[in-house]
Chains A and B, each alone.
Chain A
């Protein structure tokens, strides 16, 4: 059987090499793209994000446990990547490139490898995340939370009033909803950060 297969392939190669080469290229394209896509999915799982380095496992993951995005009435959750990785292709690829920075500090500079170092760097890191979220109008929040589909009659009177005010003053989600999944650092909060929103594109693909 294998011999016959080899012979067949050999015959095809000798007679229709162009088609065989085309097909090999086609298969490589399909396999390559699917591996790429699978790696994108794999590096966005809770399993990968939460456990892969002790910096994430010892700090961010533990802080996140039992917050409203981990555990709630309905069991509908938001994991690391839902808030911290963009959902449309191009910003996602750019964000995945940002992981090189994590690798660098984990293996080379060891900048946040102890709890003390992590807490010392916390205000700066939080500020980076808040600046990014403010710059794209809390795009990752809005991927799950559809403002137009919120039912005010199911929200508390305080929430309804605040949301009304927030819309009027052109505020964004993270201006108020910060420190909801991680420890709040000392220093200025998101509302004190000035962001030039025009710098960060936010269409469907970019």
Chain B
């Protein structure tokens, strides 16, 4: 232990140590700020909707839906529904970007409308399974069930939502699917099991 103390005192007497410490501090701040900045930038509507033409097509489907234009102008853009809001799930989701790069630059799996339509059902099922597996976590980041006012909902919505209390296995996306994108052929969320 003594040895360490001697070392650390000789450490302090060495000139330039504070300078290096401050340099490291700045590098850390810049690095962490850049990560945070990238997370914010990669979650902007501009980035998601225009960075590649595959997504450009998808964003056109979103235009004019209730999550794009509505009475109050309070919107949900791409990341609000498709990127988790918690730190760790967010970082994990960002890594999935590599899959998009791979598909865009290497396999060209959905680079034409025909290819995309052929894969639409498969892609939709992936998203629905993910949403079912976390109880529609991204929906609930904005929509607080306990703060919904039944008096402002239609009779039908009230009745359907009331039904959920008796069957908690049903989640938002089981009924509210294809609300921002074209509905594919094949099974819907209620026919799928969570992954």
Which residues of A are interface residues toward B (Cβ below 8 A)? 6, 10, 13-14, 17-18, 21-34, 37, 70-77, 144-151, 154-155
Contact = CB atoms under 8 A, between A and B. Distances in A.
Interface string B27-69: 1111111001000000000000000000000000000000011
Chain B facing A: main interface SS: helix
B195 interface: no
B65 to A, nearest CB: 11
B16 to A, nearest CB: 8
B25 A29 contact: yes
5 contacts: A25-B20, A33-B28, A34-B32, A73-B148, A149-B68
B33 A145 contact: no
A21 B74 contact: no
Contacts, number: 121
B107 interface: no
Interface range for B:
35 or more
B7 A14 contact: yes
B28 A149 contact: no
Contacts of A146: 73-75
Chain A facing B: main interface SS: helix
Contact of A27 (B28, B69, B148): B28
Contact of A145 (B68, B74, B143, B149): B74
Interface hub of B28, B30, B32, B75 (most chain A Cβ within 10 A): B28
A88 B14 CA distance: 42
Given A10-B7, A144-B74, A150-B71, A75 B148 contact: yes
Interface hub of B22, B36, B148 (most chain A Cβ within 10 A): B148
Interface in B127-145: 142-145
A177 to B, nearest CB: 11
Contact of B23 (A6, A25, A71): A25
Contacts of B144: 75-77
